[in-house]
Structure 1
Amino acid sequence: MSTTTPRLPTYFISHGGGPWPWMKDEMGDTYAKLEAALADMPRQIGVRPRAILMVSAHWERMNFTVQAHPQPPMVYDYGGFPPHTYSVRYDAPGDPALAARVQGLLEAAGLPAGLDAERGFDHGMFSPMKAIYPEADVPVVQLSLKKGLDPAEHLALGRVLAPLRGEGVLIIGSGLSYHNLRAFGPVAAAPSRAFDDWLQQAVVNSEPAVRTQQLIAWEQAPAARIAHPREEHLLPLMVAVGAAEAEPGQCVYHENAFMGGLTVSSFRIG
């Protein structure tokens, strides 16, 4: 693998709900700010990635597992949406060689890792990617979370993946900065703002070593368990930070009236 390409940043993105890019008639401008922020990522990066490694909140395995399908199918892992959203396509190619490279990095670091040659793209991948690279012409490989959702383990995963940043691979953690499906709208305004204020302090305004410790202890943050009753949508942040652990963070998307009152954000590291 070439190591002459510029070292790419990493991202933690809020990926929105379900197949939103294919529901503009139904949703109006609800996702306009998020879509604009995602669509701006290629400009921010400045170079075309050779491939994307995507850690989605919507895939968990007992051990870290890498998608190895050369042309992954679609996984419609949502319910209650219009019929047409169960036939949408985002036909980006996979990259089995990158999958093998990721597995090799993990196993060399003592992290058991598997390959899955059948797994398709879930909506944590294809919904934001529709905005980032709408032509679906950049290869994408998904990497699972590990059950147990230990923040330290996922920071360690990011550290192991860091060399890929110099090989033209863009590492994206895809989740949501606030994810409590039972507390949306006005009732979520205060807790989502409190948790987002903590995220801004931890990710953007803290020294790297302090940031790492804060993320490990994220449950101590204000409104932490209101914002994330279960933390699968937060853990992709740990991977993105771990892969650029010594570098500064920047908020690249922020709004405080999303879906009727949520404060939500996305971050770039490096």
Structure 2
Amino acid sequence: MTMHFPALFVSHGSPMIALEPGATGAFLTHLGQTLDRRFGRPRAVLAVSAHTTARAPVLLGGAQHEAVYDFGGFPQALYELRYDAPGAPDLAATVGERLQAPVLERGGLDHGIWTAMRYLYPDADVPVVPLALTPMASPAELMAMGAQLRSLSEDGVLVLATGSITHNLRLLMSQRPWGGAPTENDPEMPESAAFRTWFAARSEARDWEALAQYRVQAPNAVMMHPTDEHLLPWFVAAGLGGREEAPQRIFEAVTFGCLGMDAYAFGPQAGALREALQNTP
């Protein structure tokens, strides 16, 4: 029987998560194991990341993917990690037809995708199709696009959106009021906590209008997201999940005091996933 998967949004944080998993890496491992137990192995993953963008939707339909090291200034060990996953050209063609989007016969997984996938599916045995994010689109437009893909989750495809629930690199690297550079275990800034709490509350209330207008309604929205691209994948997954079900926050954490690592699940199976995560070690 083909399983109906919830759509997912995960915060990927720094590329260093690939070497230093911390609490988020442990959660992603638990998430992958729980998905396997509760829903089975997906036939493919459709990935929407803040780091693969285009002016209009486009799909990477190559038969094979490798990790793309789209960052600089990190330890050499990070560039030596590999994540070689198969592609799914047939799925890319299906999604391309549905969105009237071109399919490129090329591969490559940006770090927002492969750093998450290496914990979800460490054997790199699940085919992946990256769908480029259109960062100039509004949250409402991205939700509408996600709604066009809703039947995919009912046909064994796991939709994985990756970004960050808060993302301000300048704030991340700034001097702390108490002195010194930021550290991973810094206490959360009140502004970050207020934003994450608002976003979770509006999600629970299914307040889609407020969520779509988060930049003007959420507290500290511009501080937490000077630009939109790291939150926009959330709206693609939310659109796919549908307006009838409340998004479920399935993980919450903060690193460096202001980099939110929250994860959400969407759609009719989101509640079942949250319960399964809570009830298994």
2:222 maps to a residue whose letter is R
Partner of 1:74: 67
Q: Is the 2:168–2:225 Cα contact (8 Å) retained in structure 1?
A: yes
Q: 1:180-207 CA deviation, whole Å, 9 max, x = no partner?
A: 001124696122111101111122x213
Partner of 2:265: 268
Q: Which has the higher strand share?
A: 1
**Matches of 2:261 and 2:86 in 1, distance apart?**
30
Q: 1:82-120 CA deviation, whole Å, 9 max, x = no partner?
A: 12322321011010000001101112xxxxx12122241
**Matches of 2:211 and 2:53 in 1, distance apart?**
20
Question: What is the number of equivalent residue pairs in this alignment?
Answer: 250
Partner of 2:256: 259
Q: 1:39-77 CA deviation, whole Å, 9 max, x = no partner?
A: 122343321111100100001111101111100233210
Query: What is the deviation of 1:33?
Result: 1.2
1:35 maps to a residue whose letter is G
Partner of 1:250: 248
| Structure 1 gap segments, 5+ residues each | 25-30, 108-112
Query: What is the deviation of 1:215?
Result: 2.1
Partner of 1:230: 227
1:191-230 aligned at under 5 Å gives the runs: 191-203=191-203, 205-207=204-206, 210=207, 212-219=208-215, 220-230=217-227
2:209 maps to a residue whose letter is Q
SS class of match (1:232): coil
Partner of 1:13: 10
**1:151 to 2:139 alignment:** yes
**Matches of 1:264 and 1:85 in 2, distance apart?**
20
SS class of match (2:118): helix
TM-score (norm 1): 0.87
**1:160 to 2:148 alignment:** yes
1:262–1:70 CA distance, 2 compared to 1 (3 A) = closer
2:99 maps to a residue whose letter is L
**Matches of 2:32 and 2:245 in 1, distance apart?**
20
Q: Is the 2:248–2:265 Cα contact (8 Å) retained in structure 1?
A: yes
Partner of 2:29: 39
Partner of 1:106: 99
1:36–1:84 CA distance, 2 compared to 1 (3 A) = closer
Give 1:173's match in structure 2, choosing from 161, 164, 173.
Answer: 161
1:248 maps to a residue whose letter is A
- CA RMSD of superposed structures (Å): 1.7
Q: Which runs of 4+ in 1 moved over 6 A?
A: none
1:119–1:150 CA distance, 2 compared to 1 (3 A) = farther
**Matches of 1:133 and 1:81 in 2, distance apart?**
24
Query: What is the deviation of 1:264?
Result: 3.4
2:164 maps to a residue whose letter is L
Query: What is the deviation of 1:263?
Result: 4.4
**Matches of 1:261 and 1:61 in 2, distance apart?**
28
